[in-house]
Amino acid sequence: MKTMLKCTLVVALFAVANTVFAVGNLKLNIQPIANEKAVVLISSLTDSSLKISVTDNLGRVVYYKESAEPNGNYRKVFDFSDLENGEYMLAVESGDLTTVRPFEVSRGIIKVGNEKTTIEPFFAYNDGLLRCTYLNFPKENLTLSFFDKNNLIYTKNIGRNFNVCEGLNLSKLDEGKYTAVLSTGDKEYTYEIEIN
């Protein structure tokens, strides 16, 4: 039992270390250069394609591009002169990592906000136990919920903890389909479970 606990702890620490290293591998920078123009610089050490999008403050996509092949470094001059004055969000996805950076266009001037990187949570279901782990880099308020069809069965306010490691014993539930949802500040991650 002691050996199994040590092995589980080593595997968990290895997974957390790899995740922390991976998060540092996606960087997004917006450098204003002239009237309503900016250089967008993206660096990624992951071996996956990039999905780049710009959305307005209502969540409408005003620009979208997906690279066909893995691209470690991306550089492009964006002309934002067609955008109305207002707040926007530039987002980059690379594998499980997402980095966003808000910016504002106001009378020909571009103001850039702070970068925020997130990584998708890890869910696993085995032998009646649901596990959820998540590294809460933006320190957002988190909630874990569990549903049977559309009915809420369980909810837990996790708070702003950085290292989230939750487990639910589902061994007493009836057969059927269930959904686990981890809610962050502005995003929900879902995991479907079928109990036989």
The domain tally of the chain equals 2
pLDDT tens for 128-187 read: 999 999 998 888 999 999 999 889 999 999 999 899 999 999 999 999 999 999 998 778
Indicate the residue among 76, 102, 118 that finishes a domain. 118
What percent of the chain lies above the pLDDT cut of 70?
A: 86
pLDDT tens for 91-113 read: 999 888 889 999 999 988 899 99
pLDDT tens for 129-144 read: 999 999 988 889 999 9
Average pLDDT, the chain: 84
Determine, yes or no, domain membership for 8. no
- Res. 195: pLDDT tops 50: yes
Question: Do 80 and 136 fall into the same domain?
Answer: no
Determine, yes or no, domain membership for 148. yes
Sheet with 129-135: strands ordered across: 122-126, 129-135, 163-169
| Region of poorest pLDDT, from 20-24, 45-49, 66-70 | 20-24
Range of the domain at 156: 120-195
- Res. 11: pLDDT tops 60: no
Average pLDDT over every residue of 61-75: 83
Helices (H), the chain: 2-23
d(CA 163, CA 161): 6
Nearest to 123, CA basis, from 157, 167, 169: 167
Question: Do 42 and 132 fall into the same domain?
Answer: no
Question: Do 129 and 108 fall into the same domain?
Answer: no
Domain CATH number, residue 26: 2.60.40.1930
Determine, yes or no, domain membership for 7. no
Determine, yes or no, domain membership for 1. no
